[in-house]
Amino acid sequence: MQIHQPDTARAVHPALVHFALAVGGFAIGTTEFATMSLLPYFARDLGIDAPTAGNVISAYALGVVVGAPTIAVLAAKMSRRTLLIVLMLFFGIANGLSGIAPTYHWMLLFRFLSGLPHGAYFGIAALLAASLVPANRRTAAVGRVMLGLTIATIVGVPFANILGQVIGWRWGFALVAILALTTAMLVALYAPAHKAEADASPLRELGALRRPQVWLTLGTGAVGFGGLFAVYTYLADTMLAVTKVSPAMIPVALILFGAGMTAGTMVVPRFADRSLMPTAAALLLWSAVMLLLWPLAAPHLPTLLVSVFAIGFGGAYGVVLQTRLMDVAGDAQALAASLHHSAFNTANAIGPILGGMAIRAGYGWTSTGYVGCALALGGLAIWCFAWWLSNQRVAATAGA
């Protein structure tokens, strides 16, 4: 991957840039997961029932799916620093508006708008972070950006929920708006002012869609990640109905899930930077096994908490996926990197839908573990096919 030289004499400190970008990840992670925990409060205030309020979460996910490729293509000629600042300003305004939404329909619109910058931000942030370090440390750099999102599940989400309970749900969105504006200022201060490549264009970015390996990598994420969401979505209900614990234990489990994701994001890049494809396969296999064990672990609180941490650890696959997209996207880096989060949100839709179907069919709350295992194995199968195809191409090139 080409590393640009800054067009300014200002010294660039990669650690400060990574921190600035991680603050944006923290803001996005907080709003993405905290909205679920604030749902009962804004549903009551806006005069709607819980299933209807769930559409607000879907509106955000739809914004991510639509915004990621659209922004990456249309903003192809914009410098990464400028684009990140604009995305965070827009994200902050949209979340601020969510906090003052007067009706359900306005809330739907503002949550859709809030989702638009999500995928593009993470995609461009990952490219910028990786461009500041040697090639053999790219995954670690991407991991540092993604740490913002995982730490948000431990700190940001509970804090936003407390704000929602104590002084009102609207302040949860206000918190995110403040974090977004802070990110914009930090990026403006520390990120290098790289110019966009002279031949960058929307058409060049669309070239990523002609590459089979891009689609296979995205397919792995859309399917393989679905297993994690199949369990996570119904975690609270499973704990109440199967583990039979006090509702006070639910936040503990959610924090452990976030801690697992954070641990994975810190550990896995060390292996991925040495051997990316085997690391990804091992991580998907890990997820499949942990999800398969979920029905056995769920009835007992100690084993459930260990299982939640282990399943969260498997979420580190997202960092590996982001690096793989850099390798297979050629010169269409921005679109491919941004589409990663469209795949992630597709998984966020597939997992809960299939898990819900198994529950409604009478297989019980813990059946989500079997659904998740099947999805993780499906992702592993796609990944292994992509790996085989890549090796075949290398062999053909060597023999030519």
Q: Which pLDDT band, with edges at 50, 70 and 90, does 176 fall under?
A: very high
b/e per residue 207-239 (b: at least 16 CB within 10 A): bbeebebbbbbbbbbbbbbbbbbbbbbbbbebb
The string of pLDDT tens digits covering residues 119-169 is 889 888 888 888 888 877 878 888 888 888 888 888 887 788 777 778 888
Residue with tokens 């997209």: 325
pLDDT given at position 282 = 93
Mapping DSSP to helix (H, G, I), strand (E, B) and coil, where does residue 102 land?
coil
Lowest mean pLDDT among 73-77, 284-288, 334-338: 334-338
CA distance linking residue 95 with residue 328, whole number of Å: 34
- Domain-by-domain residue ranges, the chain? 8-200, 208-400
Query: Amino acid letter at 135?
Result: A
CA distance linking residue 154 with residue 230, whole number of Å: 20
Query: Amino acid letter at 14?
Result: P
The string of pLDDT tens digits covering residues 197-210 is 655 556 556 666 67
Q: Which pLDDT band, with edges at 50, 70 and 90, does 83 fall under?
A: very high
Hey, what are 354's tokens?
Answer: 């299939």
pLDDT given at position 50 = 62
pLDDT given at position 26 = 93
> In the chain, pLDDT over 90 holds for what percent of residues?
33
pLDDT, mean over the chain: 84
Mapping DSSP to helix (H, G, I), strand (E, B) and coil, where does residue 343 land?
helix
pLDDT given at position 272 = 84
Across the chain, which distance is largest between two alpha carbons, in Å?
68
**Inter-CA distances, 73 with 4, 113, 126, 202, Å:** 20, 18, 16, 5
Q: Which superfamily, per CATH, for 8-200? A: MFS general substrate transporter like domains (1.20.1250.20)
Domain 208-400 in this protein, CATH class: mainly alpha
pLDDT given at position 199 = 55
Residue of 100, 357, 378, 326 whose CA lies nearest to 222: 378
Residue 193 phi, psi (nearest 5): -90, 65
Pick left, alpha or beta for residue 217 (phi over 0 → left; psi -120 to 50 → alpha; otherwise beta).
alpha
Pick left, alpha or beta for residue 330 (phi over 0 → left; psi -120 to 50 → alpha; otherwise beta).
left
Mapping DSSP to helix (H, G, I), strand (E, B) and coil, where does residue 6 land?
coil
H helices of 191-274, in order, are 202-206, 212-224, 226-232, 235-238, 250-272
**Total residue length of the chain:** 400
CA distance linking residue 348 with residue 389, whole number of Å: 27
Q: Cβ–Cβ contacts within 10 Å for residue 364, how many?
A: 16
Tell me whether the CATH fold assigned to 8-200 matches the one assigned to 208-400.
Answer: yes
Hey, what are 8's tokens?
Answer: 């300014």
Average pLDDT, integer, range 95-110: 93
